[in-house]
Each structure stands twice: as structure tokens, then as C-alpha cells.
């Protein structure tokens, strides 16, 4: 005869069935069970249970599409970034994003396409790691890095042979700025003695840079033709080169028209002029265009020697054009102003630019300036 306890008779039927579905009887206790108790949870839903299992991820959510991208696509994106970056930190920040970016970002294709702004190292940030980064770009075939590192080694680090070799490497690849810099080295005999000047080689290099559209080289070859410096004198042809240089300069200024207009407005307001007056076409004949943005290599040199009291050594002077930064490699290498004798320039192009930008309003005759120990006169 089946007999049941009174407590079993009083238990609700649903509660009995729920517990019957469990493989093991659940111990009744207050509060939710813990994992340390080693108990299997009951199939019955308990309102006080806080351990809710997370929903299983779908197959679409678990797929990582970035890992599925081919390396060629990622390298192409990083190459485009390195060529269009405004500053070195743009590329460095991308390489620090993940390990894959760091590995693929050091591919030769990415470093070979780095633009001038991407490798624009500042003088205050110069260190061994910056030197290694530029050297690695050079090894990958980056002509811009070859020119920048060549200028730094030749003028700042005073490693003349290595710097000239790097600039020559960029010049062989038709880098216009490197060709023009080597022309200045030949004109001045930089890194050697006064007898090491080679005017014809300087004119040839300058003509090649002018053919590639370098504005300073166009201006330099124009003045050489007008003065008969290193080449047979031809005033008409020299004037034509000067017109081309100023036309290119004007085109570059018009391309940044809003900034140019704002600069002109501020300049006229500071001078108390209500109307700017007439606007001749060419800067060499009266129209003051905004100063061109210096190349990162020249900007590095200006900052490097500016932090050293504006001198490259005892008795050595810097080019007075503030956008140049080139120092003398020997005493009296640069030419002085023939009127005041207070400024000196590494080239005729720098003299022409500085004359229209600032020196024209400051140049005054100085008695006895020739008695000062100095180099040749210019103007």
C-alpha cells in the first residue's frame, strides 16, 4: 500500500513536477547558488538568479573582415597615407595602431613613397631613431629622403662626403631640389677651398633643375645669364628665365589664394593702407608675393642653427634669406651685399628673394663696410 507523507501531499503539483525533471535533487537554501557549491542548477526559472548566459554570437558577428584583407590592399592604403601625410606623426600613429600595420608599414613600397611632409623631421626632434628612419627610407629608394638626409649630413652634421653622395643619388633620379643644391655647392666650392669652385658645373646642374621647373633654379640661371656668371652673357635670355620664375611663383601663390588674400589684408591694415594700389604681375618688378614655404630640409637647417645662436661655427655665417638655412663651410664663402655689407647670401636666387621680402626696406649705404673682413660683394 502506497503511503505518502503529509508534506508531499501538501506540496503543489507543479513544484513536484519541476523537481522531478531535475537529475539531482536541489537543496533548498536561501539566496542564489554559487559555483563553489558544486550544484547543478535546477531547470526551473528562478526570478532571483543573476547569472544569465550571454547570447551566442552569430557567424556574421564572429568574422574579422580586417584579418581577411590581403596584405597588398593594406600596403596600398599605407602607401597612399605615407605619400599624402601632412606630418610624420600621421604615419607613425597608423603604424602604432596594430601589429599588422606596424609590420606592413615598414615594407619598402610604403617607405619609398613617403612624401616631403611625411619625412619632415624637426631639428628639436632629431635623434638616432629619426636618423635611422630617414636612412631606412633612403635604402628603400626614396629620393626625397636622400635629399633631406644629404642636406642634414652635409651642413648640420658636417659629414660632407656622405651628404654630397646622398644629394647626388637624389639628383641622379631627377630630384630638382637636389640638383639645385648641388649647383650651389659647385658655385661656392662648399666643403672645400675657394679654388674648388666649378661655375660651369653649377650652371649645368642649375639648368637641369630649371628644366624640371624648380623656381629658384630658374631665377638663379636667369641672373647667371644676365651677369655672365659661369656662362656667356645673354641679357635677353636671362630676362626670359626671370619672367618664367616669377610666373611660376605667381601661379603657386594663386593656388593658395584665400591665404594669400588674408595675408595681404593683414599687411595693408598693419601699414595703415586702405587700398593696396596697382598689382604688377611679376614679383621682381614690384609685386610682393607671399614668401614661399621652405623645403623641410631648409627648415631643418634654419631651426638647427637657430638653436645654436644663428651660427655654424667661429667666423661662419648663415645665408641671410630666412627660408634657406645654409651655413658657410669656410670663412667668407658667401657674397655680401655691395651696398650695406650687412647681409650675405649663398646664391643669387636667395639674394633676389630676400631683397623683395625684407632687405629692400632695410638696405642703407654703410661707410667703410669694405674695411670689414668679408667676402665678395653682390647686388
Phi and psi at residue 88, to the nearest 5°: -60, -30
Average pLDDT of every residue of the chain: 78
The pLDDT assigned to 360 comes to 80
Residue 275 and residue 248: Cα distance in Å, rounded? 26
Q: How far apart are CA 186 and CA 199, in angstroms?
A: 6
Over its C-alpha atoms, the chain yields an Rg (Å, rounded) of: 36
Bridge partner residues of 337 (DSSP): 378
The domain spans of the chain are: 69-171, 174-267, 294-358
Q: What pLDDT, on the 0 to 100 scale, is given for residue 55?
A: 60
Q: What is the pTM of this model?
A: 0.74
* Segment 30-58, tens digit of pLDDT: 555 544 454 455 455 555 555 556 565 55
Q: What is the CATH number of domain 174-267?
A: 1.25.40.10
Q: What percent of the chain has pLDDT over 70?
A: 69
Query: Which is more confident, 240 or 372?
Result: 240
pLDDT band at 257 (very low <50, low <70, confident <90, very high): low
Contact 24, 2 (CB under 8 A): no
The answer, yes or no, to whether residue 309 has pLDDT greater than 70, is yes
Alpha helices in 85-214 (DSSP H): 88-95, 99-104, 108-112, 128-139, 143-151, 160-172, 176-188, 199-211
Q: What is the DSSP string of 245-303?
A: HHHHHHHHHHHTHHHHHHHHHHHHHHHT-S------S-GGGT--PPPPPPPHHHHHHHH
- Three-state SS string across 185-228, please? HHHHCCCCCHHHCCHHHHHHHHHHHHHCCCHHHHHHHHHHHHHC
Amino acid at each position: 500500500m502506497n503511503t505518502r507523507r503529509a508534506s508531499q501531499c501538501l506540496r503543489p503539483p507543479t513544484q513536484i513536477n519541476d523537481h522531478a525533471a531535475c537529475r539531482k535533487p536541489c537543496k533548498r537554501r536561501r539566496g542564489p547558488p554559487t559555483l563553489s557549491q558544486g550544484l547543478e542548477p535546477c531547470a526551473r526559472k528562478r526570478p532571483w538568479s543573476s547569472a544569465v548566459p550571454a547570447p551566442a554570437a552569430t557567424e556574421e558577428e564572429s568574422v574579422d573582415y580586417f584579418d581577411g584583407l590581403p596584405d597588398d590592399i593594406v600596403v596600398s592604403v599605407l602607401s597612399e597615407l605615407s605619400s599624402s601625410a601632412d606630418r610624420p606623426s600621421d604615419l607613425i600613429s597608423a603604424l602604432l595602431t596594430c601589429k599588422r600595420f606596424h609590420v606592413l608599414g615598414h615594407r619598402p613600397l610604403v617607405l619609398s613613397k613617403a612624401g616631403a611632409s611625411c619625412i619632415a623631421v624637426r631639428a628639436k626632434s632629431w635623434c638616432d631613431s629619426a636618423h635611422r628612419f630617414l636612412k631606412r627610407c633612403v635604402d628603400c629608394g626614396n629620393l626625397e629622403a636622400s635629399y633631406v638626409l644629404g642636406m642634414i649630413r652635409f651642413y648640420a652634421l658636417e659629414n660632407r662626403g656622405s651628404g654630397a653622395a646622398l644629394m647626388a643619388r637624389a639628383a641622379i633620379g631627377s630630384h630638382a631640389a637636389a640638383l639645385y643644391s648641388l649647383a650651389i655647392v659647385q658655385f661656392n666650392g662648399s666643403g672645400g677651398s675657394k679654388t674648388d669652385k666649378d661655375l660651369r658645373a653649377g650652371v649645368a646642374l642649375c639648368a637641369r633643375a630649371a628644366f624640371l621647373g624648380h623656381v629658384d633654379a630658374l631665377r638663379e640661371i636667369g641672373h647667371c645669364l644676365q651677369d655672365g656668371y659661369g656662362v656667356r652673357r645673354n641679357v635677353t635670355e636671362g630676362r626670359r628665365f626671370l619672367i618664367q620664375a616669377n610666373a611660376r611663383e605667381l601661379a603657386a601663390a594663386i593656388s593658395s589664394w584665400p591665404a594669400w588674400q588674408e595675408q595681404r589684408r593683414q599687411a595693408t591694415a598693419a601699414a595703415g593702407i586702405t587700398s593696396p594700389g596697382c598689382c604688377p604681375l611679376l614679383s621682381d618688378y614690384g609685386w610682393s608675393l607671399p614668401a614661399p614655404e621652405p623645403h623641410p630640409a631648409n627648415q631643418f637647417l634654419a631651426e638647427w642653427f637657430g638653436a645654436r645662436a644663428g651660427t655654424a661655427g667661429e667666423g661662419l655665417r648663415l645665408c641671410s634669406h630666412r627660408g634657406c638655412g645654409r651655413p658657410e663651410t669656410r670663412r667668407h664663402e658667401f657674397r655680401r651685399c655691395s651696398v650695406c655689407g650687412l647681409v650675405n647670401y649663398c646664391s643669387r636666387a636667395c639674394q633676389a628673394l630676400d631683397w623683395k621680402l625684407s632687405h629692400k626696406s632695410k638696405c642703407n649705404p654703410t661707410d667703410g663696410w669694405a674695411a670689414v673682413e668679408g667676402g665678395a660683394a653682390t647686388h
